[in-house]
Amino acid sequence: MHNKGKIYVIGLGPGSREHMSKRALDAILDSEVVIGYKTYIHLIKDLLDEKEVIDSGMKKEVERCNLTIDKALEGKRVCIISSGDAGVYGMAGIMLEVKYERNADVEIEIIPGITAASAAASVLGAPMMHDFAVISLSDLLTDWKLIKKRIECAAKGDFIIALYNPKSKGRVYQIEEAREIIMKYKEKDTPVGIVRNAKRDGEEVIITDLENMLKYNIDMLTVVIIGNSKTYVKNGKMITPRGYQL
């Protein structure tokens, strides 16, 4: 029988090995080819002996997926890696889209990982105990108008808001506008958690509030979690009550 190969779409989790799932680890070990952005390849470099490793730059997602399918059609077991969860601003969606676009007869297994918001929340305490919205501030693929509308709706709905891709060197005003929109609906002393490198080397944690959040360093290695109207800070932990009577 012709061996069709297999594709694993892997979320590595936030970065440290203890926070990677066993299934993700097994899939990497089982793979003959590993494909991904070089920062993520670097996180697992000790696992890559004897494997074909293909790292590629940031803007080549479709190319990366096509290559993954080509390799699998040759009969190889291939993994394509994202950080966090591959289904949250990661490679899972585009991988399936490319597979169906090409009508490629290959098996794809998507392996979930701990997403940045969960990792950051655990570091901050328990800020996401109630309904939350995850919003990426990157307007590379999404219209800024639509992003602003979603921020507005989430703030109006009193959702806890986790902001991904909050600010890069060339993209600085979005976090400022996002905060302004949110301030229309949330009090200025609403707790805000800023976590850089959650659950990996170089972890930094700040708990502040909406009024002061822009005084701190926010970049592309950071996730920002803004509480709801019930969120409070106690003993350095950010807590959003679920509603239990104490």
232 strand-pairing partners: 239
**Contacting ligand SAH within 50-89 (CB under 6 A):** 82-85, 88-89
174 in contact with ligand SAH (CB under 6 A):
no
Among residues 6, 9, 14, 44, the one that binds ligand SAH under rule CB under 6 A: 14
Q: How far is the CB of 196 from ligand SAH (least distance, A)?
A: 6
155 in contact with ligand SAH (CB under 6 A):
no
Residue 238 near residue 134, CB atoms below 8 Å: no
> Pick from 37, 41, 39: which is nearest to 57 by CA?
37
Six-digit token string for 162:
């986790």
Residue 117 near residue 162, CB atoms below 8 Å: yes
CB atoms within 10 A of CB 32: 15
Nearer to ligand SAH, 76 or 136 (CB): 136
Nearer to ligand SAH, 61 or 76 (CB): 61
- The SS3 call for residue 65 is helix
**Contacting ligand SAH within 90-149 (CB under 6 A):** 90, 115-116, 119-120
Tell me the window of 96-104, 175-183, 218-226, 233-241 that interacts with ligand SAH (CB under 6 A). Answer: 218-226
* Cα–Cα distance for residue pair 5/99, rounded to 1 Å: 14
Residues that bind ligand SAH (CB under 6 A): 14-15, 82-85, 88-90, 115-116, 119-120, 164-166, 195-200, 220-223
